[in-house]
Chain A
Amino acid sequence: KAGVTQTPRYLIKTRGQQVTLSCSPISGHRSVSWYQQTPGQGLQFLFEYFSETQRNKGNFPGRFSGRQFSNSRSEMNVSTLELGDSALYLCASSLSQVENTDTQYFGPGTRLTVL
């Protein structure tokens, strides 16, 4: 079974631009979560989608948004990029049967650099 895939793997953008990252979950997984990883803040939860609905959201500004399609693929968008948005963005998928026992499997990440 194929793992979680993320595209693109690397991105370089300039301040003020916007960016869209894509995530394809493991087949059969309906929950997709997004995390931002930076050296200073560690791993921080952005949001989670299940059956095309956002069920949970972390403490990030409205510039960060996402969506999920009927095939469970998800995209996240960051508008008006800031230097501080430079990070590794990780997508994780899970079956989402029972939350606290549900293992999240991660993709390889998208490394975003904002200049």
Chain B
Amino acid sequence: AQKITQTQPGMFVQEKEAVTLDCTYDTSDPSYGLFWYKQPSSGEMIFLIYQGSYDQQNATEGRYSLNFQKARKSANLVISASQLGDSAMYFCAMREDNTNAGKSTFGDGTTLTVKP
């Protein structure tokens, strides 16, 4: 079973509007971390935001916020006030317990296109 599911292969959003990218995950570990990365066409993976499984509040980093619903096992990324430079591939990732040293599990990604 896929551990990270991103159901939206592609999304379009108008410049200056908000957009939500979906991510659901599957784990039996009580302690885990959820991450979002942005990958422009250049290829580099850029870290955006982190949410820990025990965090009580949703994470925010500038225009990025993470809508964490633990019971539903979802960790959606919300980008507010979209900019043309936000056009990229976005990946949701999870890190589990120490037996998986150094390993993040990634979803298939969502391609976001911001329209002027």
Contact B95 A99 (CB under 8 A): yes
The residue in chain B whose Cβ has the minimal distance to the Cβ of A90 is B45
Query: Whole-angstrom distance between the alpha carbons of A102 and B104 in the complex?
Result: 10
Does B64 have its Cβ within 8 Å of any Cβ on chain A? no
Contact B102 A105 (CB under 8 A): no
- Count residues of A near B (Cβ-Cβ below 8 Å): 30
Q: A106-B45, A108-B42, A111-B43 are in contact. Are A100 and B101 (CB under 8 A)?
A: no
| Segment of A15-23, A50-58, A78-86 in the binding face | A50-58
B100 CB contacts on chain A under 8 angstroms: 56, 99
Interface flags for A76-104 (1: CB within 8 Å of B; 0: not) read 00000000000010101010100111111
Query: Whole-angstrom distance between the alpha carbons of A47 and B97 in the complex?
Result: 16
Q: A42-B108, A103-B35 are in contact. Are A50 and B102 (CB under 8 A)?
A: yes
Residue in A56, A106, A111 whose beta carbon sits within 8 Å of that of B102 in the complex? A56
A32 CB contacts on chain B under 8 angstroms: 102
Nearest Cβ on chain B to A54's Cβ, whole angstroms? 9
Nearest Cβ on chain A to B69's Cβ, whole angstroms? 19
Does A33 have its Cβ within 8 Å of any Cβ on chain B? yes
Contact B47 A103 (CB under 8 A): yes
Contact A101 B52 (CB under 8 A): yes
Residues of A within 8 A of B (CB): 31-33, 42-43, 45, 47-50, 55-56, 58, 88, 90, 92, 94, 96, 99-109, 111
